[in-house]
Structure 1
Amino acid sequence: MRKLIANGIWLTVAVSTSMAVADVGSEARVADPALRHQGPTVLTPRGSLVFEPGLQFTHSSGTDVAIEGYTVVPAVLVGLINVSESQRDTLTASATLRYGLFHRLEVEARVPYVYKKEAVRERDIFDGSSNDIVRDSSGQGVGDVEFALRYQLNSPQSGGAFYLANLRVKTRTGTDPFEVDRIRLYADTGDGDRVFVGEVYEEQPTGSGFRSFQPSLSFVYPTEPAVMFGSVSYLWNVERDVSGHGRIDPGDALGFNYGMGFGINAQTSFNLGYDHSIVFKTRRDDDAGLDAVFDRFHVGSLLFGLSHRLSPRTRLNVSLALGVTENAPDVQVGLRLPVTLW
């Protein structure tokens, strides 16, 4: 969390690609007299350590239709139609440490523990059967550990926006998607042949399988009675050679978010925002460019947040994200408890 002392208000801002939360209040804070000449900061004060346990639940669902056949007359299909519906639930418990290295520079480390469950229901429309096939899989373990570095570019003395340059690095400590076993799915065409329609995991992975770097630029602009915030970022996923799959270059992502925070009283604040990412197509060495896959897809979510100060060193933050595009998670609920240790 970032604490802001400016214009007689305090502010806490969390910036990420999936969730942006700002908390605003009316209580003024007194900065360290030795640091006053350096101007206000929105980062963790120098020498301070913040521990933040968190819990996040994500639910997403979708329906896919696979068609293998030909058209005799318009709107009349002869062949196989396979319909699958999937539901995914992910529960992530995390431990985050933030430390203020200097007055305008902080570092962060985050270790997640992930539990994931997926259910896939299928039906072959033209195979003469009305029975559904349901396949469940789950997995749990340490996820991809992340590290972050944030630097405040300016310190406006009499109003104005605060600008921050950020860098987030994600590792591959979680279970690799290419390391878990998969089940190949086939559908009966009705004439004795079987058609491959996809794959499902026997065990759910807890990591993405790729390292990534995400530089971003964010701003915080206090203006009574609200505080505006936002960021723009670029996520670069590092390509790698995968045994049995060749060289895979996962799609990068261009993202932005913005919002406003409002103080209800000296202890409680709420915020509204929007987060959007444009994810580009994944490519591999043997990709002939003939797959019917869009070059990009959009992930957009409406953001809501509530923050309450439990004590001078502890805050409770609750966040909610509702997906507004087809590829976004249906709902994401987060709970965080940042505690200033010293």
Structure 2
Amino acid sequence: MLIRSTLVMVSLVLMAGLASAESARDLSKAREALSKQDNDADTERALEEVFEAAEKNYSLLKQGGMSLNYNFDYSYFGDQRIELVIEPNLVDGRPQGSGVVKNANVSPVASHTFTNSITFDYGLLNNLTLSGRLPLIAKFDTGEDLTAYSIGDLTGTTRWQPFEYVPGKMSSTFFGSARLKTGDSPYEIDLNKNLSTGSGTYGLSGGVSVSKVLDPVVLFGSGTFGYNFPLTDLNQVRGSAILREVHPGSNLSFSMGFAYSLSYDVSLSASFQGSFNDKTRFVLQDGANTRTSTAGSQMTGIMNFALGVRVSPKTIANINVGYGVTELAPDFILGLSLPIDIEGVKPN
């Protein structure tokens, strides 16, 4: 018996901004930069390729085939913000020694991100599939009392399977992605009044996903390298300085896990996804002086659990929940994926 069901893993909207004057905003930007991005390892895609391989020589779409999928993703970041009022000790009108804390207030802050995305796939060849993704994003920040509704970064992906799928053998698929900075850039908005919905940079990425069916279990893994292009000619106010250039670091990500088919209609999976982001360099102009600030490299990890349920002979609904295992990862993740029936618009 070959596994016939597909599973989903969240596709977090990613936005890479790591350079703010305030430490609270720095932490928020770091989290966004290290969260799962569109070009990171995709558990849903790796599993889908394996589960569909039982019906054709290649696990990608057939030549001329089309598919449309809807994804809803929600991520939550929670934190505590400490506000201190310190009164200095004055001697002859001048501060001397340590001050006295007059007031200390600890208030919870949270960031909520809702992403609705549509992904279209087209089979150029039996072993070559092109896809595009359009995300629509809503963000809420309770600490700054800010909201944002806008488009995210558009991405295009090419997936190539060099060898036919052979049952019982390991399957591999190579992929490459390009990201456009169509969302609201964190390096161009007013940080005191707006929230970003995009990474702010153009990017290229590539990698490989592998999987193997050990009926009724599927083992899978994926690795991705991403390069982010530098930005120049910026004019963003950051405290007393002006941000002029951003040189984002490259990133590495990987995913690994397994799926288990309970029946023809129900399947479960567990996976881990990790990302490493290299240091980012910022060039700021403070009056007549130019200085460089660097945000150090960071790593994040996310655990995910998914349930796939067949709701009709041709439709499988996927639901996943996850949580971050590192400080900069999302505290909570929820995702839903549904295929959209486009049989009526396909050519005969």
What are the superposed Cα offsets for residues 153-186 of structure 1, whole Å, 9 maximum, x if unpaired? Answer: 2224352111111112111111122332233xxx
Q: Are positions 1:226 and 2:226 aligned together?
A: no
Equivalent position SS for 1:55: strand
| Amino acid aligned to 1:325 | T
Q: Are positions 1:253 and 2:270 aligned together?
A: no
Q: Are positions 1:98 and 2:101 aligned together?
A: no
Q: How far 1:43 sits from its partner (Å)? A: 1.4
Q: How far 1:284 sits from its partner (Å)? A: 2.0
- Please say if residues 180 and 202 of structure 2, whose CA atoms lie closer than 8 Å, have aligned partners that are also in contact: yes
Query: Which residue number in structure 1 is paired with residue 185 of structure 2?
Result: 176
What are the superposed Cα offsets for residues 76-114 of structure 1, whole Å, 9 maximum, x if unpaired? Answer: 965889977531000111111111111111011111110
Q: Are positions 1:59 and 2:68 aligned together?
A: no
Q: Are positions 1:8 and 2:2 aligned together?
A: yes
- Please say if residues 250 and 282 of structure 1, whose CA atoms lie closer than 8 Å, have aligned partners that are also in contact: yes
Q: 1:336 to 1:310 in 2, by over 3 A?
A: same
Distance 2:147 2:48 in 1: 35
1:144-223, aligned counterparts within 5 Å?
A: 144-183=153-192, 202-223=193-214
Q: Are positions 1:238 and 2:229 aligned together?
A: yes
Distance 1:252 1:61 in 2: 27
- Please say if residues 23 and 263 of structure 1, whose CA atoms lie closer than 8 Å, have aligned partners that are also in contact: no
Q: Structure 1: any 5+ residue segments left out of the alignment? A: 1-6, 32-39, 70-75, 121-134, 184-201
TM-score, normalisation: structure 1: 0.75
Equivalent position SS for 2:252: strand
Q: Structure 2: any 5+ residue segments left out of the alignment? A: 10-38, 87-96, 236-241, 285-289, 344-348
- Please say if residues 25 and 268 of structure 1, whose CA atoms lie closer than 8 Å, have aligned partners that are also in contact: no
- Please say if residues 50 and 59 of structure 2, whose CA atoms lie closer than 8 Å, have aligned partners that are also in contact: no
What are the superposed Cα offsets for residues 23-74 of structure 1, whole Å, 9 maximum, x if unpaired? Answer: 699999544xxxxxxxx222122221111111111101234679999xxxxx
The counterpart of 1:266, out of the listed 254, 264, 275, is: 264
TM-score, normalisation: structure 2: 0.74
Q: 1:94 to 1:147 in 2, by over 3 A?
A: same
Q: Percent identity?
A: 25
1:31-180, aligned counterparts within 5 Å?
A: 31=56, 40-63=57-80, 86-120=109-143, 135-180=144-189
| Amino acid aligned to 1:178 | Y
| Amino acid aligned to 1:166 | F
Query: Which residue number in structure 1 is paired with residue 25 of structure 2?
Result: none
Query: Which residue number in structure 2 is paired with residue 337 of structure 1?
Result: 338
Larger relative strand fraction: 1
Q: Are positions 1:284 and 2:282 aligned together?
A: yes
Q: How far 1:251 sits from its partner (Å)? A: 2.6
- CA RMSD after TM alignment: 3.1
Distance 1:99 1:214 in 2: 20
Q: How far 1:340 sits from its partner (Å)? A: 5.1
